[in-house]
C-alpha cells in the first residue's frame, strides 16, 4: 500500500534531520536569512579542478547515502533501486532537501542522473539497463554528453565525428566541444556519424564510451566566469565495442532527441541531486533588493513583480508539463519550459542590474551584491545549451502550432554532399 504524501514527508524530514544539518531559516520557510550567511547565485562553477573534484565527491557520497533508502530515485521502479512513487513525492523530497546543508548541484551530476540514466533506461538493451542505470542513478559513475562540435552546435544533425564499423567494434575519430565535466566523468554519451551517404538526420549512431579509452584527449576550456566546466574532447582511433552502441545503428538522432528532451524538461523532481536551482532565485533577488533598500523605489518594485509573475507562470507550466510527461520522454512542451526558464534567468539578470546599479561591478564585500556578476555572466550561456532559443521556437512552431517548416536546402541530401 502506497504511503500518503504527508506520511512520506514526515519520514523523509526525519531522515534528513539524522543525516544533514538544517539550514538557517528566515521568516519564510526555505528563505535565506537576509543580509547574512553564504550567498551564491553562480550559474557555472568558478572552482579550481581540485575544488570541483571535492564537490563531486561530496555529491557522490550524499547521493549514495540517499540510495541506501531509495531517496535518490523516488519516482523510479523498486527494481532499479527507487521507491516506485510518483513525481509528486520526488518533488516533495526536493523541497525538504533544500532546507538542509547538502552539496550544491553540479552539471555532471545532473547529466548523469537526469539525462543519461533515463535515456539508457528507455533506449538501451536489457544488458545496458542492468549494467548502467542503477550505477548512474546512485552516482557511482558519472557521465558527460559528447554531442556538439565546432561546426555542429544548434545544427546538431550536421555533426561530422566519424564512427566506422570494424566487426564487433567501432572506430571513432573527430572532435566534440562544450562537454561539461568531461574531465571528471567515467562515461560519455556520444553521437557520431556512422553513414555519411545517408541524409544527415539518419546517418548517426549513439554510443556509451568509457572516457579513459585509449585515444581520448580532454582539454578544459577557460570561461569568462573563471571556471573550466566545459571541455574539448578529441577522438583518435578510439575503439568502442558494439555492445556499448545505444539504440539501433543509424538511430542516433532519436537517441539525441531523447536526451535533449530530458535536458529541456524543467519540471524538475529534484532527483538530479544537490541543492538549489541554477543561478539566482526569486528569493535571493528579493533578499538583495531588501538589504540594499531598493524596495522603496516604486520602479524597482514593478521590476520585481515582473520576475515574481514570471516565476509563478513558469511553475504552473512545469507542473502541467510533468502531467503531460507521465513518466515518458518529454515532448515539445519541454521546449516551452526551456524557453521560460532561460527567459526567467535573463529577466533576473536584468532586474538585478536595476537593483544593484554600480554595486554589481564593485567588489565591496557587501552581502548579496557583487556575487550577482556570476549570474549575469553565466545566464546567457543557457540560451544556447540544450538547443538555442531559436531552435526551441522552431520546435514549438512546427510540432505544436503545426506551422510550415523552415526551408532546408540540405533536405534529402547525403551528409557528404552537403556544401560546407
Residues designated catalytic: 263
Residue pair 54/119 in contact by the 8 Å Cβ criterion? no
Q: Backbone phi, then psi, for 23, in 5-degree steps?
A: -70, 150
Nearest-angstrom CA–CA distance, 415 and 198: 6
C-alpha cell at 155: 545544427
C-alpha cell at 170: 567501432
- Distant-in-sequence, close-in-space partners of 316: CB < 8 Å, separation ≥ 6: none
- Distant-in-sequence, close-in-space partners of 216: CB < 8 Å, separation ≥ 6: 209, 233, 234, 235, 236, 238
Nearest-angstrom CA–CA distance, 170 and 172: 6
Tell which residue, 289, 288, 278, has the closest CA to residue 371: 288
| Burial call 354-377: b when 16+ CB within 10 Å, e when fewer | bbbeebbeeeeeebbbbbbbbbbb
| Burial call 91-111: b when 16+ CB within 10 Å, e when fewer | bbbbebbbbeebbebbbbbbb
Largest CA distance in the chain: 71
Amino acid at each position: 500500500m502506497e504511503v500518503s504524501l504527508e506520511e512520506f514527508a514526515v519520514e523523509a524530514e526525519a531522515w534528513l534531520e539524522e543525516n544533514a544539518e538544517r539550514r538557517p531559516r528566515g521568516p519564510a520557510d526555505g528563505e535565506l536569512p537576509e543580509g547574512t550567511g553564504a550567498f551564491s547565485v553562480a550559474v557555472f562553477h568558478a572552482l579550481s579542478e581540485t575544488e570541483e573534484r571535492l564537490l563531486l565527491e561530496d555529491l557522490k557520497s550524499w547521493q549514495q547515502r540517499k540510495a541506501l533508502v531509495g531517496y535518490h530515485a523516488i519516482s523510479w521502479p523498486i527494481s532499479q533501486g527507487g521507491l516506485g512513487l510518483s513525481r509528486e513525492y520526488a518533488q516533495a523530497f526536493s523541497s525538504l532537501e533544500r532546507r538542509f546543508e547538502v552539496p550544491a548541484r553540479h552539471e555532471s551530476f545532473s547529466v548523469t542522473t537526469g539525462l543519461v540514466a533515463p535515456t539508457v533506461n528507455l533506449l538501451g538493451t536489457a544488458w545496458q539497463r542492468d549494467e548502467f542505470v542503477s550505477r548512474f542513478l546512485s552516482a557511482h559513475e558519472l557521465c558527460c554528453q559528447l554531442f556538439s562540435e565546432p561546426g555542429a552546435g544548434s545544427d546538431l544533425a550536421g555533426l561530422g565525428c566519424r564512427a566506422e564499423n570494424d566487426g564487433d567494434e567501432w572506430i571513432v575519430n573527430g572532435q566534440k566541444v562544450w562537454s561539461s565535466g568531461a574531465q571528471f566523468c567515467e562515461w560519455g554519451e556520444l553521437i557520431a556519424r556512422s553513414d555519411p551517404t545517408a541524409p544527415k538526420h539518419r546517418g548517426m549512431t549513439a554510443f556509451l564510451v568509457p572516457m579513459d579509452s585509449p585515444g581520448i584527449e580532454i582539454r578544459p576550456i577557460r570561461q569568462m566566469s573563471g571556471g573550466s566546466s566545459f571541455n574539448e574532447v578529441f577522438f583518435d582511433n578510439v575503439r568502442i565495442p558494439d555492445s556499448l552502441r545505444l539504440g539501433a545503428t543509424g538511430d542516433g538522432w532519436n537517441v539525441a532527441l531523447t536526451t535533449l528532451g530530458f535536458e529541456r524538461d524543467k519540471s524538475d523532481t529534484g532527483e538530479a541531486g544537490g541543492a538549489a536551482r541554477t543561478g539566482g532565485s526569486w528569493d535571493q533577488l528579493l533578499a538583495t533588493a531588501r538589504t540594499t533598500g531598493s524596495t522603496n523605489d516604486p520602479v524597482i518594485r514593478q521590476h520585481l513583480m515582473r520576475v515574481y509573475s514570471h516565476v509563478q507562470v513558469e511553475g504552473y507550466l512545469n507542473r502541467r508539463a510533468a502531467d503531460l510527461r507521465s513518466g515518458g520522454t518529454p515532448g515539445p512542451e519541454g521546449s516551452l519550459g526551456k524557453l521560460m526558464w532561460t527567459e526567467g534567468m535573463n529577466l533576473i539578470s536584468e532586474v538585478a542590474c536595476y537593483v544593484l546599479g554600480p554595486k554589481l561591478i564593485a567588489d565591496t564585500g557587501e552581502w548579496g551584491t557583487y556575487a550577482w556578476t556570476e549570474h549575469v555572466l553565466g545566464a546567457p550561456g543557457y540560451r544556447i545549451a540544450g538547443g538555442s532559443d531559436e531552435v526551441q521556437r522552431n520546435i514549438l512552431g512546427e510540432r505544436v502550432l503545426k506551422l510550415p517548416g523552415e526551408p532546408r536546402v540540405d533536405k534529402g541530401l547525403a551528409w557528404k554532399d552537403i556544401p560546407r
